[in-house]
Amino acid sequence: MSNALMKIRAITKARQYILPLMCAISFAIAGCTGGYSFTGASIPPGAKTISVETFPNYAATVNPQLSQRLTDELEGMFASQTSLVVEKHNGDLQISGEITGYDTRASALSSSDEVSMNRLTITIRVHFVNTKDSEADFEQQFSRYRDYSASQDFSAVEEALVSEIVQELCEDVFNKAVVNW
Can you list the alpha helix ranges (DSSP code H) found in 31-90? 66-81
The structure's pTM equals 0.76
Q: What's the CATH superfamily of 42-178?
A: Lipoprotein like domain (3.30.160.150)
Query: Which of the two residues, 40 and 136, has the higher pLDDT score?
Result: 136
Alpha-carbon distances of 34 from 50, 69, 76, 79, 180, rounded to whole Å: 17, 31, 22, 17, 15
**Mind listing the pLDDT tens digit for each residue in 115-138?**
889 999 999 999 999 999 888 899
Pairwise pLDDT comparison (159 vs 113), residue with the higher score: 159
Q: What is the pLDDT of residue 111?
A: 72
Distance from first CA to last CA of the chain, Å, rounded? Answer: 57
> Residue 30's pLDDT band (boundaries 50, 70, 90)?
very low
Q: What percent of the chain has pLDDT over 90?
A: 64
Contact by Cβ (8 Å): 175, 128: no
Q: Is residue 92 exposed (0-12), middle (13-18) or buried (19+ Cβ within 10 Å)?
A: buried
Q: Where in the chain are the domains?
A: 1-32, 42-178
